[in-house]
Copies of this chain bind each other. A is one copy, B any other.
Amino acid sequence: MRDIAGAADLSAANLYHYFDGKHDLLFYCQDRALDRMLAAVTEARRAASSAPERLRFVFTAHMRTLLDDIEGATAHLQIESLPPALRSAIVKKRDRYEQGLRRLIADGVRAGELVDMNPAIVARAMLGAMNWTVTWFRPDGADTAAAVGEVISRFLVRGVAMRSPAAARKLAVVGRTS
């Protein structure tokens, strides 16, 4: 609580003025972080023209939420500390986000833009790579949050993206003429 107040440049007393207590604040932070991640999935579907681009958009938003914002950092504290009713609301929203990511992957596989790998397992591997950053990222460390987000997004997209269509076309031509 003191950490959050410090980061938000408020006294803990101030924070308690706005929230009923630790649980309400923690719930609010987690809930807002998930809202931003869900909005990124919707926006990626609207604005990006291919599955790799859509994934990159979502990863960038996810990493920004995790590493840049107070809400993000607290959103991945143990949700076990929430009372059952609040926890269950967060778990439901988290599941919706994971389902959204799985669908982006499954649609990309169907469109021939992503490699055919189990979308449920791949989605969780992606979430793991991103969420694990809260265990090691330090704002005063060697790399900025933006740099970490950029490397991890690129790495995760490469993991599922088909070789570029241009490269595949050239290879097909080579195959025909050799």
Interface residues of A (CB under 8 A from B): 115, 117-118, 120-122, 124-133, 135-136, 142-143, 147-148, 151-152, 154-156, 158-160, 163, 167, 170-171, 173-174
Contacts and interface: CB of A to CB of B under 8 A. Distances in A.
Nearest to A168: B167
A121, A126, A148, A154: which has the most chain B beta carbons within 10 Å? A121
A130 B125 CA distance: 7
A6 to B, nearest CB: 22
This chain: copies in complex: 2
Given A128-B131, A128-B132, A174-B174, A151 B122 contact: yes
A16 to B, nearest CB: 27
A163 B155 contact: no
A128 B122 CA distance: 13
A159 B155 contact: yes
Contacts of A160: 155, 158
A163 B164 CA distance: 10
